[in-house]
Amino acid sequence: MSQLIIPKDYRPLLDMQQTEQGIKQIKDFFQQNLSTELRLHRVTAPLFVLKGLGINDDLNGVERPVSFPIKDLGDARAEVVHSLAKWKRLTLADYRVKPGYGIYTDMNAIRADEELDNLHSLYVDQWDWERVMNPDDRNLDFLKRTVRRIYAAMLRTEYMISEVYPVLTPSLPDEIHFIHSEELLQRYPGLDAKERENAIAREYKSVFIIGIGGKLSNGEPHDLRAPDYDDWSTPNSEGYKGLNGDIIVWNDTLGRSFELSSMGIRVNKEVMLQQLQICGKEEREKLYFHQRLLSGDLPQTIGGGIGQSRLCMLLLKKAHIGEIQASIWPDDMRQSCQQAGIPLI
């Protein structure tokens, strides 16, 4: 069994019926606020895409997508999406969306190689969003402004649900703190990446860690990112590389850092070629998505994913993501949760 956190004397603050109602209230309220903040309209997204087009997100490059043959296409294989990072950019181009506007969708995925614990499930649900931007806005200030607007929607949602259920005391700070992953490494040189996240989240309660994917001064990236959607190699005005990052908060229920979102300014032609070379993935240049980007057919965008079950889990103060969503768990994990008073759906 993967590492399971059992909070001492844990008892859910809401019963299962209230929890289901709270999940709907959070999802409805947050997506409307996100749409308003970033001027996004909702679109319908695929559950699977054809293999070999370069559209599926390969995450860290090691996760195996769930795939199956399609009878009416001569057994051509389809892959269940890992995320919609590239599909969204293609859609913005096809819909001819103007700068300053974008799309969001419900992304549902299956990640068969996920290590199951309090935060990670085989089933992934998130709001995937993408917004067209002007090429001149490829800078850190624009990234930070966008993060603050997303965080403002989270704060309003937390306030709303605490008004509906007063037992849910708000815990997010009014402001989100920004720090680059290299600064974080210099601040805590003796800790590994996850320990550094715990330390900074414990201190500030809400942080955006900039620069995820590029190697730091210790020769290692803070975390892995695919080379063909987020820009993690462009130096910014502060001298650090990376125009992407993660929203991390402190989870009081679990006593640890808690990632809510991964996002960033997307690669342009030059950056994608550079990152493909860094990762030794030059062969991807021939794929459908990459050819459209290289030909200048795709707009410059910023985008990311925000965990739906994660946000509900945080705001409803749940100890396990299985209290929010229905999934499959190891028998020993279910038994441990039952004994600890953690009711998995």
Residues annotated as catalytic are: 57, 111, 126, 246, 259, 262
Instruction: Report residue 192 as tokens.
Output: 């590994």
Residue 60 CB contacts under 8 Å (≥ 6 apart), including other chains? 224, 225, 226
Residue 172 CB contacts under 8 Å (≥ 6 apart), including other chains? 154, 155, 158, 205, 206, 249
Report yes or no: 51 and 80 within 8 Å, Cβ to Cβ: no
Closest to 110 in 3D by CA, of 126, 120, 125, 123: 123
Closest to 241 in 3D by CA, of 193, 207, 277, 274: 274
Rounded Cα distance between 272 and 275, Å, is: 5
Strands 256-265 and 244-251 come out as antiparallel
Each residue of 93-124: b (16+ CB within 10 Å) or e?
Answer: beeebeeeebbbbbbbbbbeebebbbbebbbb
- Could you tell me the CA-to-CA distances from 210 to 84, 246, 273, 279 in Å, in that order? 21, 7, 21, 20
Report yes or no: 152 and 112 within 8 Å, Cβ to Cβ: no
Report yes or no: 99 and 134 within 8 Å, Cβ to Cβ: yes
Rounded Cα distance between 22 and 324, Å, is: 10
Report yes or no: 201 and 250 within 8 Å, Cβ to Cβ: yes
Rounded Cα distance between 318 and 10, Å, is: 9
